[in-house]
Chains A and B, each alone.
Chain A
């Protein structure tokens, strides 16, 4: 039966007037409805019928009567819910009061004309303006978008009667408004009661309450040569203006108060026109931003008739006192870069000087005005952006710069400045003149707030919504990683994978390296107690790095060089090794050196395109200077690729030959030789002298050097000066001379 389901009781009323009830649970009434005769079937909840069982239901002549009784109950229910019996809740009153808001404009007019009655709104304030009240209800938003602000004000302009009738209108309204400021804070500017459509930009400058009969000044700098023809001038509705002026709450400023200050200063003030509006402007003060009191001279001529303007009152004495003070309020420039701030002030100074010079002639208003007007005429499009809007944009940009960890977010800038500071500190120590001032932009630093993401919940609902968002991502696809079996892979794939493995290793090691390099800074920033822990971490990371480089020892006594060589084949790997070397211990570093020397020809071949091996020279040399003689010997051995036991020297040592032909190889060889010579000259030199190996290695080396054609010889990075003396120990004079010329061991003029 329509919407009734099986379990409802259904009451049938038949055409012949009979009614019957079908109990829920059954599909057919006691008396089956005969299709055509059925007038209506009403499904009724069980409770309506107080019968619990079929037996109770008197399906007879009494039925109607019983139903009739039930009707009364129904009536009572109705009454309780909707009628007089309903409990009068508070919500009703609240609702009415809220409704009042909407009624206000409609009734405003009557009220205006009638007696001045106290209009209390929800806040208990004396407001007669919907906009004001609404603006007060609006949650203060730091980021109020000027665009949104404009969009909110969509009320149609209220056409007000013109002319002399206004006095009646204004009187009561203004009276009411006078009471306003008594209640509200000073920071809340008062609305301006404006009759006619106005130019968009105008100030509300007065520092004090005016008497209602004084006019509000609304000069408009874009008046002269406004980009849009006067007929299309954007009209500020009553509401909009009120919003602008009255909408600001503590801490907020409406744009119009500040926007055209510069415009205002120079803009012409029309002479007082008693016909036009009266209004009052409350005091606006905001230390936080550039508030400029408006002071201007009345314009030279009456404004064009097409534009109704508001004119300043004849300034009261208080105003006149303020009048000759053209200084602009110092805007808040803390967020500017110090250099910018300085520039700005400089420019302000300049302008002020210019201004003063213009005004020099005993405040010659007319002259001053005209020149300013001229400037205005030159650029009628100036100040298209209100000051408020500009502040808003820069506020957003400053917010974007807020960072909890500037070192992380702004690494390059911070580092750059640190370097500069170091340089200037060094200069200072040397007693240079006044150092160049390096000022740094100080961005606001916010404490990091921990946000625990709470999924959205509704009151009284059962269960939670499953919502996937940026903060709370959900798994959508079950992706399982399956590793391929070894058999399937071809050789190429294996090679590729191996290379990929190496790349991954390099990346991991690089992160470790960056961390280790960063420890110094962290150390300085940390507390005393934390430092040992930091040191431990650092050591651990260094060990990890080394392990990564050499490949985790699979239990062999000597790990193979393979892993290392793979890393060294990749450009990034070489660079990384160069950076890691300073952190390694002596044994580890020597080990790396050995491995490099051992595989040098191969690495040279691989490095043909990159030529990055040279970056290793510097750290290698640093390591070399700490190596003991035994190690040096072994190193040379590696370079020459001689086995431990000396065999009969081959006619040509290919390993060494390759080394000699490469810039890096040769440079490295020179370094090793130079170190050996140093050791020989020093106290520990005796060891080396006694070392047979060293002598043999030297003879081998010199032999190779002599053998190799000069053209094939590489050009080393630098030729150490002590090579000559080194060679002199092992070769005779004739060969020495040959070596000399070949290797250009003697530099400069003989």
Chain B
């Protein structure tokens, strides 16, 4: 079975090293990988293909949303991710996978939680911006900074 081990950011160019390993035989199950994207999404799936740009092909992908101690999985199917959007990629230890303090909930519930969280964040952000405006300062939004 072929597996990738996870990437290290070891130089300023931020290239990910994947040590491509090959296992001796087929008795092991395929490894699941966890991908963190630049927009904050977390994808979990079987990594089927990769190239030098870190473009990924994920199979039986699941998008995992984390809110507080809870998480929910949304099945997404096959994902092809463009390399520039990948932040990191790691292998999931299947034995330890179930060994988390996090609690899995249904999709609806987690989406609701996420919505609530986003709302709270937006409100606090608004207050902050208001306060800054009163003092004559303005902080550019992070997403516009990201372009450069």
Contacts and interface: CB of A to CB of B under 8 A. Distances in A.
B19 A344 contact: yes
Interface stretch (A52-60, A408-416, A680-688, A691-699): A408-416
Contact of A379 (B11, B23, B29): B29
Interface in A372-424: 372, 375-376, 378-379, 381-385, 387, 390-391, 393-394, 396-398, 400-401, 403, 409-413
B94 to A, nearest CB: 12
Which of A347, A378, A403, A409 counts the most B-chain CB atoms under 10 A from its CB? A347
B90 to A, nearest CB: 12
Contact of B26 (A376, A387, A400): A376
A401 B24 contact: no
B11 A410 contact: yes
A343 interface: yes
Contacts of B59: 381
A387 B51 CA distance: 13
A328 B29 contact: no
A136 B10 CA distance: 39
A384 to B, nearest CB: 5
Interface stretch (A37-45, A348-356, A497-505, A530-538): A348-356
A262 B18 contact: no
A340 B21 contact: yes
Given A381-B48, A382-B1, A393-B51, A351 B18 contact: no
A336 interface: yes
A265 interface: yes
B26 A263 contact: yes
Interface string B28-60: 111000000000000000101111100001010
Contact of A393 (B21, B30, B50): B50
B25 A355 contact: yes
Interface string A234-261: 0000000000000000000000000001
B25 A328 contact: yes
A290 interface: yes
Q: Which of A221, A341, A394 has the most CB of B within 10 A?
A: A394
Contact of B1 (A262, A355, A443): A262
B142 interface: no
Given A401-B10, A413-B10, A375 B29 contact: yes
Contacts of A441: 8, 10, 17
Main secondary structure on chain B at its contact with chain A? loop
B24 A397 contact: no
B92 interface: no
Contacts of A616: none
A331 interface: yes
A371 interface: yes
Given A382-B2, A390-B2, A393-B18, A347 B11 contact: no
A409 B21 CA distance: 27
Contacts, number: 132
Contacts of A383: 1-2
Interface in A274-327: 290, 326-327
A371 B27 contact: yes
A385 B25 contact: no
Contact of A411 (B5, B12, B26): B12
B5 A343 contact: yes
Contacts of A378: 29
Given A337-B19, A397-B16, A397-B18, A265 B25 contact: yes
B12 A385 contact: no
B51 to A, nearest CB: 6
A335 interface: yes
A262 B24 contact: yes
A409 B28 contact: no
A340 B29 contact: no
Nearest to B7: A397
B13 interface: yes
B22 interface: yes
A24 interface: no
Contacts of B49: 384-385
Nearest to B46: A381
B15 interface: yes
B20 interface: yes
A358 interface: yes
B16 A354 contact: no
Contacts of B22: 261-262, 290, 328, 331, 387
B8 A337 contact: yes
A191 interface: no
B41 to A, nearest CB: 23
Interface residues of B, number: 32
B23 to A, nearest CB: 6
Residue from A390, A409, A410, A412 having most chain B Cβ neighbours under 10 A: A390
Given A262-B2, A441-B8, A441-B10, A394 B26 contact: no
| Residue of A262, A348, A391, A396 with most chain B CB atoms under a 10 A cut-off | A262
A388 to B, nearest CB: 11
Nearest to A383: B2
Contacts of A409: 11-13
A266 interface: yes
Contact of B5 (A340, A382, A396, A403): A340
A348 B20 contact: no
Contacts of B30: 379, 381-382
Nearest to B6: A340
Contacts of A333: 19, 21
Quick one: which of B2, B46, B48 has the most chain A CB within 10 A?
B2
B59 to A, nearest CB: 6
A355 B24 contact: yes
Contact of B24 (A337, A351, A376, A400): A351
Interface string A507-525: 0000000000000000000
A266 B19 contact: no
Nearest to A343: B5
Contacts of A340: 5, 19, 21
A387 B2 contact: yes
**Most interface-central of A261, A263, A335, A384 (chain B CB within 10 A):** A384
Contacts of B51: 393
A331 B22 CA distance: 8
A383 B50 CA distance: 12
A355 B27 contact: yes
A390 B59 CA distance: 17
A376 B1 CA distance: 10
B76 to A, nearest CB: 16
B120 to A, nearest CB: 29
Contacts of A326: 24-25
B10 A410 contact: yes
Nearest to A347: B23
Contacts of A337: 8, 17, 19
Contact of B11 (A327, A385, A387, A413): A413
A262 B23 contact: yes
Interface string A413-454: 100000000000000000000000000010100000000000
A200 to B, nearest CB: 14
B26 A266 contact: yes
Contacts of A394: 17-20
Interface string A112-155: 00000000000000000000000000000000000000000000
Interface of A: 221, 261-263, 265-266, 290, 326-328, 331, 333, 335-337, 340-341, 343-344, 347-348, 351-352, 354-355, 358, 371-372, 375-376, 378-379, 381-385, 387, 390-391, 393-394, 396-398, 400-401, 403, 409-413, 441, 443
10 contacts: A262-B2, A262-B24, A266-B25, A328-B24, A352-B24, A381-B48, A383-B1, A397-B16, A397-B17, A401-B11
Interface of B: 1-2, 5, 8, 10-13, 15-30, 46, 48-52, 57, 59
Q: Which 8 A-B pairs have the closest CB atoms?
A: A410-B11, A390-B20, A336-B19, A266-B26, A396-B52, A351-B24, A340-B19, A379-B30
Given A352-B25, A409-B12, 8 more contacts: A263-B26, A328-B25, A347-B21, A382-B26, A385-B49, A390-B2, A391-B20, A397-B17
